[in-house]
Chain A
Amino acid sequence: MLDNGRISSIQLSMLLFMTEAPTAILFPPSIIAEQAGPDAWISVLVPISLYGFIVALICIALARRYPKQVFTEYLPDIVGWLPGKLLALVYTLVFIHIASFILAECSLFIRTAFLRETPSLPVVMIILIAVVYGVFLGIEVIARHNELVFPLFILSMFLLIVLVANNIDLNNLRPVLAKGFIPVLSGSYQTAIFRGEIFILLMLFPYLNQKTEAHKSVMTVMIMMMIFATTIIFVTIGVFGPLVTSQLTFPYYSLARYISLAKILEQMELYLVIFWMAGIIVKLAIFLHSACIAAASTFNFRNYRMTIIPIAIISTVVCEALYSTNYLNFINFFKNIWPLYGLSFELIVPGIVLLVAIIRRKGLTSSAQTKS
């Protein structure tokens, strides 16, 4: 294996939570509220979480067949050498693409909300310095770092929910299901893909200490994400109303700006954004690490660390050229390309690979899995 780190099941669930949470709470509420109106929280509760569950189940089933290898390592084994290597290369590029998308999102947020005159490159580079160092040190270090970041992130989300809770007006959440389920579903298909990012489990599974606990930790993550995302969007729509929410670019940030408790606790948005940034750095570290491991295993390198700098540079270039400075392109990618793009490599490709593995009887069968 390329990375000799080991993570426990609790660390895995924290890591998986951190791959989904920062993006899923930052701007999706406004997109869901645009389509679903006051029923946006139902949209998060039912269809989006369901999609995440399905992706998680498929990925666990696939990963348990090859408990000691990452996804790109056993792809050639399942589908044959040439298609496998090609698919592994595609996945490497996909991971790099997602990493640059996350970078662009972070840079856009920081530059819109705080540092308006700063050009994009310094922001991206500062983030990348921390991330590249983490990837260099390995997955175990990232997991341990996340043990620090995760409670702070949860605490900041919890504080946000509690501090604006008394501004909720339940009338903003009515009428419930006035136009049936169609708006709920149409509001969910764009942002469900963020919940499907749990497919990164395919690249993290080999490091898990006790493979039989994977089910438990993944289900914990999905339930936690369901609860937190639903609560955040419930609170956002309760405080602002669906019309205002759909106008805001970053509803999480605007909600944080609205906190005012007894005129003492005001302008708390800074703390919430700091913890959010810590979370997004962990997410970026996970995706960049997966990209490096995927590149190293596709090209049969011994040491994945030699791919870190090139991949980081490619990410920066893609982010700068395509998304970070070109807001319209970012929105266009996100609205038009991302849904099907994400669906195919999160759900469809692992699903097909799993099917092929079952048919061709590749990897460990279920009786052998329970022994490992």
Chain B
Amino acid sequence: MHKQNLKLNIAILLSIIFSFTITGCWNRKEFSDISICTALGYDQVIVDNKPKLLWSAYCIKTTPAEGGGGSSSTPSGSNKGMVISSLGENVIDAAFSWNLRAPRTYFISDAQVMLIGEELAKAGISEEMDVFMRQKDLRPRTLVAVCQGMAVDALQAQPEIESLLSGELKEKIDVSYFRASKSPHTDLIQLTRDLLTPGKEVVLPLLKLVSPPESPSMISGNENQSQVSGGQPRKKILVLAGSAVFIDDRMAGTLDEEETQGMLFVTNKFNTGALPLTVTDQNKSVTFIIRNTKTEVKPIINEDSVEFEIKIKGQGNLLEQKDSEVDTSEEDFAKAEELIDQQVENFCLQSVQKCQELNSDVFGFGSIIARSQPDYWEKIERQWAEVFPTVNIRVVADFRIENAGLMSKPIVIK
């Protein structure tokens, strides 16, 4: 009897104590109170001669999917997100002013991509970087990219295959880095590290807004035909176009696709990619797929100059050729390997030259010196901006062709 009383009393006491927890804590986030923003954009705009920050968030639309059944009038890449932007003095001000327009709190912990507008990139991103690293919401693996023009326009581009632009952008950057190796892949942690490291500069993928080259009747269904022919402007799409190169925190210039490939070769970040070569001068081309590459960069310190020796090793497969230039014979393979080596070396030299013109050490040559010869680096660290454009590099590439696809002999047209 006494025990039962005691148990009852304890049960009542615990229920009273725990009932305080039902009310919800200070940080409760109801699902209908948040707006999930999966892509973010940062722009600099000039208002009354003062630079302000335009923060745009690509939010997932919350209206339920319309229709079902027959009237699938939405094209296959229908956009399930909308862009809401707000203006402020800096990032935090703009983010908190976002609620002057939007009824829900933004939820950026799911942000996959961050776009930085060209103007802001040229003006400097160090203040924004401080906010990114300090606040708890952004994930360290968020991808960062620079877009030509304004980020707010880029976020309104039409996603083509996925339903959300952010997912499409992230996959675009991932896949083009891993498959085509024509653009770099930078997340927030790598961006911070490159900003902090004295001998390395930031390089970000570059996005461009273009009109899709296909005609509209292929994309949309029948119901939209009249709308499109009625003169409505077609939505633009985002395309990766090389990379943006920074000096400190300001954008200095861009590298086109071949120069970006060269840069990825030198920094040991080239994954797989296609390499078209011209074997003779007569418009005949052979294409190789490069599989694995491994690059080693060694600094050679002379008395008054610095040289770098870059050794690249890799394997490739023959995948396309025109007019039976390369047969599966030893001499032809050896000839082709030489050509691949030359082409890769050219790419590397081109990209180093371009970066030397822009005076931006995206290859991390400075940090390589800092790692292997720290005493020398202490001497030239201050003057690295002057020393870097005078650096010579020697590239030695050594590629091996592994196989030639499914055809053992080329098609010879008779």
Contacts and interface: CB of A to CB of B under 8 A. Distances in A.
Interface of A: 112-119, 122, 171, 174-175, 178-179, 239-241, 243-244, 247-248, 254, 257-258, 260, 266-267
Contacts of A117: 26-27
A116 B189 contact: no
A240 B189 contact: yes
Contact of B136 (A112, A175, A258, A260): A112
Given A115-B27, A118-B26, A267-B139, A243 B197 contact: yes
A309 B133 CA distance: 40
B196 interface: yes
A175 B193 CA distance: 16
Given A175-B374, A241-B197, A257 B140 contact: yes
9 pairs of A and B residues whose beta carbons are closest in the complex = A243-B196, A178-B374, A174-B371, A115-B27, A118-B26, A117-B26, A241-B193, A258-B140, A244-B193
B84 to A, nearest CB: 23
10 contacts: A115-B26, A174-B372, A175-B374, A178-B374, A243-B197, A244-B192, A244-B196, A247-B192, A260-B141, A267-B109
A243 B190 CA distance: 11
Contacts of B136: 112-114, 116
A175 B372 contact: yes
Nearest to B170: A263
Contacts of B374: 175, 178-179
A244 B196 CA distance: 7
B370 interface: yes
Interface string B14-45: 00000000000111000000000000000000
A254 B139 CA distance: 9
A243 B192 CA distance: 9
Contacts of B27: 114-118
A175 B370 contact: yes
Nearest to B25: A118
Given A115-B27, A117-B26, A178-B374, A247 B140 contact: no
Nearest to B367: A171
Interface in B165-202: 189, 192-193, 196-197
A175 B371 contact: yes
A239 B188 CA distance: 13
Nearest to B371: A174
Interface string B113-146: 0000000000000000000010010011100000
Nearest to B135: A116
B196 A258 contact: no
B139 A243 contact: no
A99 B367 CA distance: 43
A258 B371 CA distance: 25
Given A243-B197, A254-B140, A171 B371 contact: yes
A340 B370 CA distance: 35
A171 B370 CA distance: 11
Which of A118, A174, A244 has the most chain B CB atoms closer than 10 A to its own CB?
A244
A346 to B, nearest CB: 33
Given A243-B196, A267-B139, A258 B370 contact: no
A119 B71 CA distance: 52
A258 B192 CA distance: 14
A119 B133 contact: no
Interface string B293-315: 00000000000000000000000
Contacts of A244: 189, 192-193, 196
A241 B391 CA distance: 26
